[in-house]
Homo-oligomer: A and B are copies of this chain.
Amino acid sequence: MKLTRISEIRRRELRRAAYEVLQTEGMGGATVEKVALKAGTSKGIVHHYFKTKKQLFEHAMRHSNSGLRDGVIKLMRQARTPDERLWAIIEGNFMTDFFTPAICNAWLALCAEVPREPQLARIQRVVHARMRSNLMTALSELLPPEQREAVALAITSLIDGLWLRMGLHPGEISAQTALTQMTDYLAHRIPRIDWNEHLRRAGAAA
């Protein structure tokens, strides 16, 4: 029990370190040694906790997603109406803690590996499915069935596109502009809701 505790802490530290290295170095430059260095341990200990480099970065990807997921969950808890729930999903994807150049770069680096790493693909699929499920649930009370699918796709695509831009052109975008974009889209698609009100509250909270 005690041992498991220590081991769990180390694993957390290491996957966090791996994630941070990923942000600055990309996948190609993320060596086990750098991760060990950032975690303040030896190279050997990394392999003590993660059999392989791939496993380490799989856990880094889980770590990455869990941060975002927790943010969304927290916001959704406070949501009372369908539009609040939808907005919570969107706002959660642009929290200022996560919507940063470094994190978007790490996300991009992991995405680029997905096509050749079945495990990463699996994680990606799960994350994607959860996102879609959340969206569809929220949309179910806002739109007729035949429109939901398309809107869910548009929302996720927009979010991904904005994340990509934050990664590639950090200076040209901010959480504020990103949320404004989302608001604009929603305003046209689901006009009976006052999405600007949501945006205003989000800005006030930040």
Chain A residues within CB distance 8 Å of chain B:
25-29, 101, 105, 108-109, 111-116, 121, 124-125, 128, 150, 153-154, 156-162, 164-165, 167-169, 173, 177, 180-181, 184-185, 188-189
Contact = CB atoms under 8 A, between A and B. Distances in A.
A160 B26 CA distance: 20
B169 A181 contact: no
Contact of A157 (B101, B108, B115, B161): B161
Contacts of A101: 115
Given A160-B160, A184-B154, A115 B167 contact: yes
Contacts of A181: 150, 153-154, 157
Contact of A128 (B156, B158, B169): B169
Nearest to A151: B184
Nearest to A26: B116
In terms of DSSP, what is the predominant structure of the interface of chain A?
helix
A177 B28 CA distance: 33
A160 B150 contact: no
Contact of A164 (B113, B161, B184): B161
Contact of A159 (B109, B161, B168, B180): B161
A150 to B, nearest CB: 6
A173 B157 CA distance: 11
A116 B25 contact: yes
A160 B154 contact: no
B150 A157 contact: no
Contact of A115 (B105, B124, B160, B188): B105
A164 B164 CA distance: 9
Given A154-B158, A181-B150, A185-B154, A164 B26 contact: no
Given A29-B116, A167-B115, A177 B153 contact: yes
B115 A28 contact: no
Contacts of A185: 154, 185, 188
**6 closest A-B pairs (Cβ-Cβ)?**
A157-B161, A161-B161, A188-B188, A112-B112, A160-B161, A105-B115
